[in-house]
Structure 1
Amino acid sequence: MSTSFQQENLAKALYSVLADKLSSLQAQNGELTIVVHADDICTVSETLRDNPVLGFDTLIDLCGIDYSTYGDTLSAKNSLRGKRFAAIYHLLSVNLNHRLRVRVLAENNDIPVIDSVTEIWPAANWFEREAFDLYGIVFSGHPDLRRILTDYGFIGNPFRKDFPLTGYVEMRYDAEQKRVIYQPVSIEPREITPHVIREEHYGDSES
């Protein structure tokens, strides 16, 4: 069975099974991406896992994303314009040998909240904690939602587009206190633009 034929069959099955819960479906670079509303993620996830035609038994990855600098690239016809944060789910059906990407945008840009899918795919546990840590996405119903990569007492979410490259604090060892301390970052923010000089006809093939 060709990849394109298998993808076409999967797309038809998704339209048929998910019906009105499917906001959009896109085929690009040999992969399918569907968009579902945040309120429907748990219901859709259960269907994707349990429906025998779909059979997505494995969550390969889950990551956060900040769309704040993407402009209007998200389709306006699906009422997704203006949404800043999303969770992206990468699913695999081991038995049926097909993959799917699911995009869920949080409704609130100030406090992004998406329901946890840990009860559906337990592997989501650490992935959701990572997205919470780096993007500040709150996964409602997660059994132990706390930071996983940043240090204790870390302020902010370092993968957000508005987080400064230098951060807000720095740490150093204080000889008098004999311990590591935090202090305001001492590096002044600056924009570094590399200056590149090319020789004339650089890269041209020799005749």
Structure 2
Amino acid sequence: MINKETENLINLLKNENKLDFQNYTSVNNFVVCLGETKDLYNNLNILKKSETFKFKQLIDITGVDFPEREKRFQLIYTLLSHEYNQRIALKINFIDEEIIPSIVNIFTSANWLEREVFDMYGIKFSNHPDLRRILTDYEFEGYPLRKDFPLTGFKEVRYDPEFKKVKYDTVKLQQDYRDFDFESPWRGSEYIASEQKKAGKLKDD
């Protein structure tokens, strides 16, 4: 059941002509707006500076990877209005390699948040003052939170006491990676038989 404050906020958003969103939803009285990349900067700027909303704090920028979708990536911007005690989330969906406008000029805290998204997903932001990795090493290969990034990574980093420096080596597995399924012998013959029986592939003796 949506509460009165959430309903009022959605109505205010819909009635603000300068905002451009495609959809409004409420999740546990948390307003979520779906927009497009081209409107992102303008929407966030209005939500922060408008006396109607006053969402003056950027809490987080979250990335999501959906490899099966045409628009593979999603960014979620979470804002907080201290004066009205309300939160709101803005979502945008976009294709791989699309460049997103930086919002550092609106929220200075977006500087490191956008760097984290770039580091983890490889999503690039235009007009960012210092877009470089922030969590991984500068020579790190790949983007760890993409669904196609291998669990083992590409390289391992270790300190070499002989040379007294950090070395990068290609990851070497002691055995090949195995993708287990219901028919794997590691699960046991009794387990396989019970699963086949459930599926109607094996009849009772």
Q: Structure 1 length normalisation: TM-score? A: 0.80
Higher relative contact order (CA 8 A, sep 6+): 1
Residue in 2 that maps onto 1:75? none
Q: How does 1:36-185 map to 2 (within 5 A)?
A: 36-69=35-68, 82-106=70-94, 108-109=95-96, 111-185=97-171
Q: 1:105 to 1:132 in 2, by over 3 A?
A: same
Quickly say closer, same or farther: Cα 1:90–1:195, change in 2 above 3 A: farther
Given that 1:87 and 1:104 are in contact with CA atoms closer than 8 Å, whether structure 2 keeps it comes out as yes
The number of residue pairs the alignment matches comes to 184
Contact 1:21 1:40 (8 Å CA) reproduced? yes
Q: Rg bigger for which structure?
A: 2
- Report if the CA contact (8 A) 2:19-2:43 is conserved: no
One-letter code aligned to 2:83: N
1:149-189: CA deviation from partner (whole Å, max 9, x where unpaired): 00120011000000000001112334543422111110243
Contact kept, 8 Å, 1:85 with 1:112, in 2: the verdict is no
2:155/2:170 contact within 8 Å kept: yes
CA offsets per residue over residues 64-94 of structure 1, 9 Å max, x none? Answer: 111225x6xxxxxxxxxx2111211110111
Q: Distance in 2 between matches of 1:43 and 1:51?
A: 12
User: Contact 2:154–2:171 at 8 Å: present in 1 too?
Assistant: yes
Q: Could you tell me which amino acid in structure 2 is paired with residue 136 of structure 1?
A: G
* In the alignment, structure 1 residue 189 sits paired with structure 2 residue 186: no
**Could you say what secondary structure the match of 2:141 adopts?**
coil
- Describe the SS at the equivalent of 1:183: strand
Q: Deviations over 1:39-65 (max 9, x none)?
A: 111111111111111111111111211
Q: 5+ residue gaps in structure 2?
A: 191-205
Q: Which runs of 5+ in 1 are unaligned?
A: 72-81, 198-207
CA-atom RMSD in angstroms: 2.4
Distance 2:169 2:34 in 1: 42
Identity, % of aligned pairs?
Answer: 39
Query: Structure 1 residue 13: deviation in Å?
Result: 0.7
